[in-house]
Amino acid sequence: MRKMLLAALSRVLQGPAAAARPGAVSEAARVVVATRNYADFASEATFDIKKCDVHRLEEGPPITAVLTREEGLHYYKTMQTIRRMELKSDQLYKQKIIRGFCHLYDGQEACCVGLEAAIKSTDHLITAYRAHGYAFTRGTSVREILAELTGRRGGCAKGKGGSMHMYAKNFYGGNGIVGAQVPLGAGIALACKFFGKDEICLTLYGDGAANQGQIFETYNMAALWKLPCIFICENNRYGMGTSVERAAASTDYYKRGDFIPGIRVDGMDILCVREATKFAAEHCRSGKGPILMELQTYRYHGHSMSDPGISYRTREEIQEVRSKSDPITLLKDRLVNNNLSNIEELKEIDVEVRKEIEEAAQFATTDPEPPLEELGNHIYKNEPPFEVRGPSQWIKYKSVG
Amino acid sequence: VTVRDALNQALDEELERDERVFLLGEEVAQYDGAYKISRGLWKKYGDNRIIDTPISEMGFTGIAVGAAMAGLRPICEFMTFNFSMQAIDQVINSASKTLYMSAGMVPVPIVFRGPNGASAGVGAQHSQCFAAWYGHCPGLKVVSPWSSEDAKGLLKASVRDDNPVVMLENELMYGVPFELSEEAQSKDFLVPIGKAKIERPGTHVTLVSHSRSVGHCLEAAAVLAKEGVECEVVNLRTIRPMDVESIEASVVKTNHLVTVEGGWPQFGVGAEICARIMEGPAFNYLDAPAVRLTGADVPMPYAKILEENCLPQVKDIIFAVKKTLNI
């Protein structure tokens, strides 16, 4: 940011002198020329991706992936939007405009964007509480997400859910109880199988949740009944303050489904995530039953906004991941080095994204809180209006579904 | 028609009426149901509609709730409600709260049903009444049938309701036969959720009860009638939302209130009724403090004589009525 400011400043100061130099093309003109000349860019490129470890599978996902320019720009913009949205949430939380729990997803963007790239909008997805990224990829606007975080009437749940309870079409939250979303996901898969429309359910949980008993109960039933469910463990190495080594007798999360085949995926590489998910989706849709994917990823923030995230890991470790494995940087390098895009075009996207986030934040901080009347609503569905008791017998709220 | 057969009819009719309805639970399919409630249904509807689960309450309850969120209409059976404690997080946090948290976006049309409360000699871990626990939670509906008509009509209404409903049956009532009226035999017969029924009109005292205790109240009323005391017996039918208006109307008429339930006294159904009566118009019509009869405040013992004395008996109801009426 500072660098750009200085560059702009120097240009302004040089101004007339630079323009007067014969034969010189101004910086701005060069950028304009570059972005207008789409014929200069390649339309697609093929990349080598890391081979996935497999469990109970003859073969795994492909080790190369084709990325089109269009896809690349879309993935970049989506990941960047999520990154900036989460950083804005951090800011708003520190200003006490967001309250309660706030679990941020920055660092893990390749997971939610990669998953979405491999499935259809008619497929289903459910996750735990680190859900802002998924709310976005599943169709909720940044505006509605931020306004839900700030508890305003324009929030995707009218301000009644908060950070952990955002929902969208075919997106079942946003769930606060660790592990509880896993049986729910298998239930959604049961419905998919019943309705026979070739839909599947992606059921996500973390490395911490992976030790919940109900997940093993779910593995058993999903395998028994061949439910079209992809179990996805987002392993970001820490369950709150407990590292995987201290929590699990076996940290091979992709094998923990035992009789369920599994794949271990590089969760920082969006192409690896996408190809693995395509592979897994095909497995489910062909009626073979459930499959498990472990996405090895990393969160830059602590567990939540009340966790600085450095008492159980070193700043060096965080910095190392940022410099060597950042998902957005990895994609950016691929795009630029393979002529699918260039720095200037990507910078333009960054500017667009920043603008969108600023506008959304503006809305989220100025939209009013829900009206008090909203307190009693949504207790029952399709019920004639009735009265809900408030803190005393004399305070009553009307309830409509 | 016994309560068991009434429930079986209700299940059959609702499975036939809506293909999204299905039953899951332990032993519900090939065993015909642990208490034979689902007898014959698996043969008729097959594996897709009647699903035997492994012994995994938390898992299969979550699966049922997820299926409801995705458009099916599951009936999740607990072999007894004692085992629902394993899964109670899914009932409360996943089922009952989701419509509210999502501001109306995600409804959960599910029925949780099974036997609740004391049975005969099954010991402490298998005898708890959960009416108060589930009745406490907004977002849930909780029903508690007594007769065959209650069982059939409430189960059908619960399945057709778009909200999570907990239906608390009673194992000792399963084999009890009742007359089923012409109306109750119709395929569209529903008992409205949230409305109590006056089983026996009276003028001297209001007896409010739910489930098996309703029968004991009627027995006590018959004995007391011989002594000239006319009891009005109110069958709650629904624990949540509770039909307080019917209780109030009755108390206004009789001026005396006795509640009878099988669950423990503290924070129970009777306690709630007393609190609500105090807040409403009926308070001024009470000629004596309201009285609660409940299960004894201990885990249920096994020995017959001890178990019998842990639940309100007919003689206890008669005693309480006489005490209230000061006779």
How high is the ipTM of this complex?
Answer: 0.95
Answer whether B62 sits within 8 Å of A378, measured CB to CB.
Answer: no
Nearest to A167 among B60, B70, B102 (CB): B102
Answer whether A180 sits within 8 Å of B162, measured CB to CB.
Answer: no
The model scores a pTM over 0.90: yes
The encoded tokens of residue B294 equal 């409940």
Q: How far apart are CA A201 and CA A192, in angstroms?
A: 8
Q: Is A311 on the interface with B (CB under 8 A)?
A: no
Nearest-5° Cα angle at B290, B286 to B295: 160
Instruction: Give the percent of chain B with pLDDT over 90.
Output: 100
Q: Is A214 on the interface with B (CB under 8 A)?
A: yes
Quickly state the pLDDT bin for A84 (edges 50, 70, 90).
Answer: very high
The encoded tokens of residue B163 equal 């909200």
Given this model, what pLDDT does residue A19 score?
Answer: 44
Nearest to A177 among B56, B59, B89 (CB): B89
Q: What is the amino acid identity at position A231?
A: F
Judging contacts by C-beta atoms under 8 Å, the chain B residues touching residue A157 are 101-103, 105
Q: How far apart are CA A400 and CA A378, in angstroms?
A: 6
Give the distance from residue B319's alpha carbon to the nearest chain A alpha carbon, in angstroms: 33
Q: How far apart are CA A133 and CA A104, in angstroms?
A: 9
Answer whether A180 sits within 8 Å of B62, measured CB to CB.
Answer: yes
State pLDDT tens for residues A108-120.
999 999 999 999 9
User: What residues have CB less than 8 Å from B258, skipping those under 6 apart?
Assistant: B205, B206, B207, B208, B290, B291, B292, B293, B317, B320, B321, B324
Sign, Cα dihedral of B30, B33, B37, B38 = negative
- Residue that wins the pLDDT comparison between B289 and A29: B289
Q: Is B135 on the interface with A (CB under 8 A)?
A: no
- What own/partner pairs with CB < 8 Å and gap ≥ 24 does B43-50 have? B44/B12, B44/B15, B45/B15, B48/A194, B48/B22, B49/B15, B49/B19, B49/B21, B49/B22, B49/B23, B50/B22, B50/B23, B50/B24
Count CB-CB contacts under 10 A for residue A42: 14
Estimate to the nearest angstrom the gap between the alpha carbon of B218 and the chain centroid: 17
Q: What are phi and psi for residue B227, nearest 5 degrees? A: -95, 10
Count CB-CB contacts under 10 A for residue A25: 10
Q: Is B203 on the interface with A (CB under 8 A)?
A: no
Q: How far apart are CA B257 and CA B253, in angstroms?
A: 11
Judging contacts by C-beta atoms under 8 Å, the chain A residues touching residue B109 are 381
Q: List beta partners, residue A53.
A: A264
Q: What are phi and psi for residue A106, nearest 5 degrees? A: -65, 130
Instruction: Give the percent of chain A with pLDDT over 90.
Output: 90
Q: Is B324 on the interface with A (CB under 8 A)?
A: no
Give the distance from residue B30's alpha carbon to the nearest chain A alpha carbon, in angstroms: 16
As a whole number, mean pLDDT of residues A279-284 equals 98
Judging contacts by C-beta atoms under 8 Å, the chain B residues touching residue A153 are none
**Rounded (10°) angle between helices A181-195 and A213-224:** 10
Answer whether A177 sits within 8 Å of B99, measured CB to CB.
Answer: no
Q: Is B68 on the interface with A (CB under 8 A)?
A: yes
Q: What is the amino acid identity at position A185?
A: G
Give the distance from residue B245's alpha carbon to the nearest chain A alpha carbon, in angstroms: 13
Q: Is A183 on the interface with B (CB under 8 A)?
A: yes
Question: Is residue A22 pLDDT above 80, yes or no?
Answer: no
Taking one residue from A and the other from B, the number of pairs with CB-CB distance under 8 angstroms is 146
Count CB-CB contacts under 10 A for residue A95: 9
Residue A125 three-state SS:
strand
The encoded tokens of residue B142 equal 């909780």
Bridge-based pairing state of the strands B238-240 and B291-293: unpaired
Per residue in A159-185, is it b (16+ CB within 10 Å) or e — as a string? Answer: bbbbbbbbbbebbbbbbbbbbbbbbbb
Q: Is A389 on the interface with B (CB under 8 A)?
A: no
Judging contacts by C-beta atoms under 8 Å, the chain A residues touching residue B242 are none
- Residue that wins the pLDDT comparison between A14 and A82: A82
The residue behind tokens 């205790």 is B213
Given this model, what pLDDT does residue A37 score?
Answer: 58
Q: Is B102 on the interface with A (CB under 8 A)?
A: yes
Judging contacts by C-beta atoms under 8 Å, the chain B residues touching residue A386 are 241
Given this model, what pLDDT does residue A136 score?
Answer: 98
Given this model, what pLDDT does residue A401 score?
Answer: 82
Taking CA–CA distances from A387, the nearest residue in chain B reads B241
Give Cα separations from A9 to A1, A112, A373 (angstroms). Answer: 12, 38, 52
The encoded tokens of residue B84 equal 């629902």
Answer whether A157 sits within 8 Å of B93, measured CB to CB.
Answer: no
Bridge-based pairing state of the strands A291-296 and A229-235: parallel
Would you name the residues of B annotated as active-site residues? 57, 126
State pLDDT tens for residues A218-247.
999 999 999 999 999 999 999 999 999 999
The encoded tokens of residue A56 equal 């109970």
Query: Phi-psi category of B255—alpha, beta or left, where left has phi over 0 and alpha has psi -120 to 50?
Result: left
Answer whether A218 sits within 8 Å of B62, measured CB to CB.
Answer: yes
> What value does the mean pLDDT of chain A take?
93
State pLDDT tens for residues B187-205.
999 999 999 999 999 999 9
Judging contacts by C-beta atoms under 8 Å, the chain A residues touching residue B67 are 187-188, 190-191, 194
Judging contacts by C-beta atoms under 8 Å, the chain A residues touching residue B62 are 180, 182-184, 186-187, 214, 218
